[in-house]
């Protein structure tokens, strides 16, 4: 057992140093700061794509702080919820600002997370040895989706009410357990006060606790294996005489000021939206949500918030006709696996068996298209978690991949944005066709990645990172 030791300081030492020494002898505050940031060495060639992790932390703090102030005045009661939000907006001093910061922060959070994930796609930040970092990040993304979904009902406006009704009813498409599962989630036969109370509990307490734990795990895993960089080179393989990587610099002060600049730019944009366009043309706050929830009046067009709509479009694109395209795709994909891979026969047969069961369920008269829409909806999210094992490229960074790989990423990005836009629009036959094409491209990007990511002529990767001082 170690004895208690307190560092001796000169009698004339500053009061701050004495206080810090007192804390450090009882709690490793300085050690934690140095390990996690102060003396954490990061690659010296970071670019602007590496700002979004810090921005995500900033927005998380904004959401927690503004959420605390909103909870002080919000009433989780079906008869009082909408009025309490109006009270916050009109009567609570600066309540309108807190509410708009929270609602804008939700959209800002997803914009930053999507850009953060784009960075990972560009530079292979999910590749070995960072698979666990990606999985923690993916779990954070799922928690954010759950947090946003539960919070979306709380204003108790028309779109909140009917959006929750539609999403919860999707679970009813699951065979056998679907109706009971939907009833269990709602706590009633329709979205009601019971639903509001349980969604409030999850939004305010349960999900944030899980989210904070996953963020801590994400950061610990990141600092254990080290950060990736735009070249995709492991800087730990070239150590200096001091034991630190030659191509890295201390995060403080170098990336402290790098991130402060990014935070400043973000806060300018964030403030402009909060003060001048908090609804963002109905994308951040739908106009129907300024109308109290009415279970007897259905809005003409029900859609979730924009950050869910890429996946919601895939759900809407799954029609009875589209199922024939899905069936043809399954047959072609299984044939591709059999002809081009060297997987063990048992695994190939298992894949073929699963495919046959799926095809049988897609036949006319079997499971309806609504069920398969829910399956594709869920699969479009969950497939992101498999990215570290789908990418078979011999290099990590897009800088050293064939030129046409960039165009594959661009086409994927365009399709993802198109799905998001189509999801907030009223359905039509033309938009449905475009959504179906984009859905095929979306799944093709991931399912064919083991093949296309390894194709082409790759550029030689340098031994040291490429860097030029600003």
Per residue in 331-342, pLDDT (tens digit) is 999 999 999 988
Query: At residue 469, does pLDDT exceed 70?
Result: no
DSSP state of 427: P
Residue 99: inside a domain, yes or no? yes
- Does residue 275 sit in the same domain as residue 319? no
The partner residues of 15 in beta bridges, in order of sequence, read none
Confidence of residue 245 (pLDDT cuts 50, 70, 90): confident
Percent of the chain at pLDDT exceeding 70? 99
CA-derived radius of gyration, the chain: 25
Residue 109: inside a domain, yes or no? yes
Q: For 323-328, what is the mean pLDDT?
A: 94
Q: Beta-carbon neighbour count of residue 334 at 10 Å?
A: 18
CATH number at residue 86: 1.20.810.10
Query: At residue 323, does pLDDT exceed 80?
Result: yes
- Does residue 227 sit in the same domain as residue 342? no
Is 73 annotated as belonging to a binding site? no
pLDDT at 28: 86
Contact by Cβ (8 Å): 71, 42: no
With a CB cutoff of 8 Å and minimum separation 6, the contacts of 249 are: 41, 42, 44, 255
pLDDT at 108: 97
pLDDT at 467: 75
Distance CA 384, CA 416 (A): 13
- Does residue 388 sit in the same domain as residue 349? yes
Q: For 408-417, what is the mean pLDDT?
A: 97
HSE-up (13 A, CA, CB side) for residue 101: 22
Is 223 annotated as belonging to a binding site? yes
pLDDT at 175: 83
- Does residue 262 sit in the same domain as residue 364? no
pLDDT at 240: 82
pLDDT at 200: 96
- Does residue 205 sit in the same domain as residue 310? no
- Does residue 155 sit in the same domain as residue 276? yes
Distances (CA, A) of 409 to 67, 398, 412: 36, 10, 5
Distance CA 272, CA 104 (A): 11
Query: At residue 117, does pLDDT exceed 70?
Result: yes
pLDDT at 3: 57
Distance CA 399, CA 239 (A): 24
Residue 297: inside a domain, yes or no? no
Mean pLDDT, the chain, integer = 92
Distance separating the N- and C-terminal Cα atoms of the chain: 50
Highest mean pLDDT among 101-110, 215-224, 454-463: 101-110
Residue 6: inside a domain, yes or no? no
- Does residue 227 sit in the same domain as residue 337? no
Residue 100: exposure state from Cβ atoms within 10 A (0-12, 13-18, ≥19): buried
- Does residue 279 sit in the same domain as residue 310? no
Percent of the chain at pLDDT exceeding 90? 70
Q: For 112-125, what is the mean pLDDT?
A: 96
Per residue in 24-61, pLDDT (tens digit) is 888 888 888 887 888 888 999 899 999 999 999 999 99
Q: Beta-carbon neighbour count of residue 345 at 10 Å?
A: 8
Residue 347: inside a domain, yes or no? yes
- Does residue 217 sit in the same domain as residue 136? yes
Contact by Cβ (8 Å): 195, 188: yes
Residue 182: inside a domain, yes or no? yes
Query: At residue 13, does pLDDT exceed 90?
Result: no
Residue 461: inside a domain, yes or no? no
Distances (CA, A) of 198 to 72, 139, 203, 223, 367: 18, 21, 9, 36, 31
Is 405 annotated as belonging to a binding site? no
Confidence of residue 456 (pLDDT cuts 50, 70, 90): very high
Which alpha helices (H) appear in 277-402, and where do they start and end?
309-317, 322-340, 345-362, 369-382, 387-390
- Does residue 337 sit in the same domain as residue 266? no
Confidence of residue 4 (pLDDT cuts 50, 70, 90): low
- Does residue 262 sit in the same domain as residue 345? no
Per residue in 142-195, pLDDT (tens digit) is 999 999 999 999 999 999 999 899 889 888 888 888 889 999 999 988 899 999
Confidence of residue 368 (pLDDT cuts 50, 70, 90): confident
pLDDT at 2: 55
Q: For 249-259, what is the mean pLDDT?
A: 89
Distance CA 76, CA 70 (A): 11
Contact by Cβ (8 Å): 312, 143: no
Structural domain of 313: 306-452
CA-angle at 304, arms to 298 and 308, nearest 5°: 165
Query: At residue 470, does pLDDT exceed 60?
Result: no
Q: Domains in the chain: how many in total?
A: 2
Residue 28: inside a domain, yes or no? no
pLDDT at 5: 65
- Does residue 264 sit in the same domain as residue 157? yes
């Amino acid at each position: 057992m170690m004895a208690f030791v307190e560092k001796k300081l000169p009698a004339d030492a500053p009061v701050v140093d004495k206080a810090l020494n007192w804390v450090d002898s009882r709690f490793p505050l300085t050690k934690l700061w140095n390990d996690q940031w102060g003396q954490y060495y990061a690659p010296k060639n970071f670019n602007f794509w590496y700002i979004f992790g810090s921005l995500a932390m900033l927005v998380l703090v904004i959401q927690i702080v503004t959420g605390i102030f909103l909870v002080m005045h919000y009433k989780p009661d079906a008869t009082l919820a909408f009025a309490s939000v109006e009270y916050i907006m009109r009567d609570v001093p600066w309540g309108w600002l807190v509410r708009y910061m929270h609602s804008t922060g939700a959209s800002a959070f997803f914009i930053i997370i999507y850009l953060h994930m784009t960075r990972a796609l560009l530079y292979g930040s999910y590749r070995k040895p960072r698979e666990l970092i990606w999985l923690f990040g993916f779990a954070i993304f799922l928690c954010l989706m759950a947090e946003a979904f539960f919070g979306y009902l709380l204003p108790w406006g028309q779109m909140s009410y009917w959006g929750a009704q539609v999403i919860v009813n999707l679970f009813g498409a699951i065979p056998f357990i679907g109706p009971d599962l939907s009833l269990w989630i709602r706590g009633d036969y329709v979205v009601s006060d019971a639903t509001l109370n349980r969604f409030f509990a999850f939004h305010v307490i349960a999900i944030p606790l899980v989210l904070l734990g996953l963020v801590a795990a994400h950061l610990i895993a990141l600092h254990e294996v080290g950060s990736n960089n735009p070249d995709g080179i492991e800087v730990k393989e070239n150590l200096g005489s001091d034991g630190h990587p030659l191509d890295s610099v201390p995060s403080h002060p170098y990336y402290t000021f790098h991130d402060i600049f990014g935070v400043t730019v973000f806060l300018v944009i964030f403030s402009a939206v909060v003060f001048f366009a908090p609804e963002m043309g109905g994308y951040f706050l739908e106009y129907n949500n300024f109308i109290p929830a009415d279970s007897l009046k259905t809005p003409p067009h029900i859609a979730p918030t924009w950050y869910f709509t890429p996946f919601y479009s895939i759900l809407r694109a799954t029609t009875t006709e589209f199922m024939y395209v899905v069936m043809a795709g399954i047959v072609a994909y299984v044939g591709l696996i059999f002809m081009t891979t060297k997987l063990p026969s048992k695994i190939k047969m298992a894949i073929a068996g699963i495919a046959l069961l799926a095809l049988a369920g897609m036949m006319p008269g079997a499971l309806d298209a609504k069920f398969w829409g829910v399956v594709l909806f869920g699969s479009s999210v969950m497939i992101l978690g498999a990215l570290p094992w789908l990418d078979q490229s011999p290099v990590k960074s897009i800088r050293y991949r064939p030129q046409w790989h960039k165009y594959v990423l661009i086409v994927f990005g365009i399709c993802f944005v198109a799905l998001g836009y189509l999801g907030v629009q009223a359905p039509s036959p033309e938009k449905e066709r475009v959504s179906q094409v984009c859905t095929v491209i979306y799944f093709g990007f991931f399912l064919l990645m083991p093949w296309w990511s390894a194709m082409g002529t790759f550029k030689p990767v340098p031994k040291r990172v490429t860097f030029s001082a600003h």
